[in-house]
Structure 1
Amino acid sequence: MGSGNGDSSKLLDILNVRMVGAGDRVLVLSHGFGTDQSAWNGILPFFLRDYRVVLYDLVFAGSVNPDHFDFRRYATLDAYVDDLLSLLDALSVDRCFFVGHSVSAMIGILAAIRRPRLFLKLILVGASPRQSAINFILEKIEEVFAAMEANYEAWVRGFAPLAVGADVPAAVSEYGRTLSDMRPDISLFVSRSVFNSDLRGFLGLVLPPCVVVQTANDMSVPPSVTSYLRAHLGGRTTVELLGEEGHMPHLSHPAAFVQVLHRALTTDPPVAPAH
């Protein structure tokens, strides 16, 4: 899959790729762990007039045939980057705005390092370059993985409200649905891979401007991580603060997120100070 087999139409089909909207500019929406492209449903209608919007499912999503998940290939984020660049090439996209949530923010960062001219701007939502530094004490994460293995459905019921991080039952229910759709062994494998990734050393190689979206209270990504991204990303970087709580504002507070995203897409980044 991806650039290796040269079958672009097959990749578009496997990842359920869609391009919708009527604008001149291209906006790519890339979802995070435990969701699929339906996570963007609440915000999508607000961008269809001004953008051609690219939606796709990451290969680990429950909406993708699990037979396409190659455990060796997807042991690192590089294969997801291959998929993203291949599908954009297949759609003849040569410039785009990229919105990445959680792990997709890191995928976007790596893609922009490889192909900086492809990305007009990166909007990074719930982004962290090193999960293990912030989410759990190392001993605790093994307990989480053990719980996933022992009873996946029970783990989903407990994890979904914590992951969403906002008192919005509909969002928790929707996240629980897409998380449950993932095959448990794939979910566990991706969780381990993401937890063990560390992109801190790559941030300075990012050239396109970036907007980091930070909610009022994100248990997964504290403000210190946002400050770290702003200080270390190589492109001109701004931070958009969202007054709502949680790790998935596009799912739990779509109206507020639309305003922040619109501002992030249309505001020019500041000029870098002279040295």
Structure 2
Amino acid sequence: MRRRWCTNASEVVVGSGGEGGATVVLAHGYGVSQASWDKVLPSISKASKVLLFDWDFNARADDGEEEEADTAAARYTFGRFADDLIALMDEREVRGAVFVGHSMSAMVGCIAAARRPDLFAHLVLLCASPRYIDSEEEGYVGGFDEASIHAMLGAMESDFQGWVKGFVPNAAGGTAVEERIERSFRAMDPAVALGVARMIFLGDQREALDNVSTPCTVVQVRHDFAAPPIVAEYMQQRITRAGTDVAVEIVESVGHFPQLMASTRVADILDGVLLRLRGEGGHDAAGAPMPPPADKEVDGGAIDIMM
């Protein structure tokens, strides 16, 4: 029995959403925890409740499982994270949710929504990227060349704590949150952190965008070194090509954590999504009729982690 990656799930009743407000599922990104939503949570006034959870970045191999390359590739996949998200939402009987996925969780949400569209009414994709490595022959700009990604992963493997010290200032975008984010990154198990980082930074989830039928809002930070606004434009074009409604919101801030650096703006965007859903008579959290589950074969599977 494989170990699940989601832990510490909790439900919070918030604001004045009351009857008719959707459930909001907040999924944090790489290196942080559900505490990264603390500044946004009090401002989500049009939700009925919020489901919070942690991705367990300290989950070691199950008893008897050896961490060889092929085993690690099977453990660290977007598809596996998506399956755990689906299982959590089924356990909590959440349907028609507004899913907010930060960073790696954005693509986890896209894959989960393609597999089980009944669970999701809207996807808010915050600082998302389906592919971090540029592809000149395809005209795709992800923001990094392959050599720099491998150099980063090598630095993580040789000196994880030193890598954190250099990486976090760029990711944080401001000294006000830098110490908090650094503490969270340092708390990760280095082996797990490296495995998940390989999944994220070497992976290519662009094809998953073709299967997203849930309306989306892509939220990107103007000055985010990890996921520049051009990635949001690519995501909008590709998801729209599949016939799905997509809006793009640009946050005038810096860094990869707008829920901490520009929390009011992020909360306003989310409240706008919730308000539109209520106006459209969207799915409510109390159990409005839903279409039957529609399991789909969507990839998000293993990648080559050899360096």
- CA deviations on 1:80-105 (whole Å, 9 max, x unpaired) are 01110001111111221100011100
Does 1:266 find its partner at 2:275? yes
CA distance in 2, matches of 1:48, 1:17: 21
Unpaired segments ≥5 residues, structure 2: 66-71, 135-141, 278-307
Give the percent of matched residue pairs that are identical in Structure 1 and Structure 2: 34
Matching residue of 1:238: 247
> CA offsets, 1:45-75, max 9 Å, x none?
1226733100011132x5xx54569845433
- What SS is found at the alignment partner of 2:214? coil
The one-letter code matched in structure 2 to 1:252 is M
How far apart, CA to CA, are the structure 2 residues paired with 1:127 and 1:151? Answer: 27
Give the superposed CA RMSD: 2.4
1:112 aligns with 2:113: yes
Is 2:225 the counterpart of 1:219?
A: yes
Q: Which residue does 1:272 correspond to in 2?
A: none
Cα distance in 1 for residues equivalent to 2:62 and 2:143: 29
- Is this contact kept in 1: 2:89–2:119, CA < 8 A? no
TM score, norm. by length of structure 1: 0.86
The CA deviation at 1:186 is 0.7
TM-score normalised per structure 2: 0.77
Is 1:169 aligned to 2:175, yes or no? yes
Q: Answer yes or no: is 1:44 the counterpart of 2:41.
A: yes
3-state DSSP of counterpart to 1:56 = strand
Q: Secondary structure at the match of 1:132?
A: coil
Task: Assess if the C-alpha contact under 8 Å between 1:21 and 1:47 holds in 2.
Answer: no
CA distance in structure 2 between the aligned counterparts of 1:48 and 1:20, rounded to whole angstroms: 12
Question: Could you say if the C-alpha distance between residues 137 and 230 of structure 1 is closer, same or farther in structure 2, counting changes exceeding 3 Å?
Answer: same
Hey, what's the Cα distance between the residues in 1 that align with 2:62 and 2:222?
A: 37
**2: CA distance, partners of 1:230 / 1:178:** 31
User: Which deviates more, 16-25 or 95-104?
Assistant: 16-25
Distance 2:207 2:114 in 1: 12
In the alignment, the residues of structure 2 paired with residue 94 and residue 260 of structure 1 have an alpha-carbon distance, to the nearest angstrom, of: 21
Greater relative contact order, per chain length (Cα 8 Å cut-off, separation 6+): 2
Residues 1:30 and 1:68: Cα distance change in structure 2 (over 3 Å): farther
Once residues 38 and 67 of structure 1 are traced to their aligned partners in structure 2, the CA distance between those partners, rounded to angstroms, is 25
How many angstroms apart in 1 are the aligned matches of 2:61 and 2:52?
21
Shift of 1:149: 1.7
Q: Structure 1 residue aligned with 2:191, among 166, 185, 190?
A: 185
Which one of 204, 213, 219 corresponds to residue 207 of structure 1? Answer: 213
Between the two proteins, the alignment pairs up a number of residues equal to 257
Mapped partners of 2:161, 2:26: distance in 1: 28
**Aligned AA (2:47):** D
Residue 92 in 1 paired to residue 101 in 2?
no
**CA distance in 2: counterparts of 1:172 and 1:261, whole angstroms:** 24
Larger radius of gyration: 2
- Paired with 1:225 and 1:68, the residues of 2 have a C-alpha distance of 36
Distance 1:195 1:129 in 2: 9
Is 2:31 the partner of 1:34?
Answer: yes
Instruction: Please tell me whether residue 249 in structure 1 is matched to residue 258 in structure 2.
Output: yes
Is contact 1:20–1:48 with CA below 8 Å preserved after alignment?
A: no
More displaced 10-residue stretch of structure 1: 128-137 or 75-84: 128-137
Structure 1 stretches of 5 or more lacking a match? Answer: 6-10, 269-275
Structure with a larger share of its residues in helix: 1
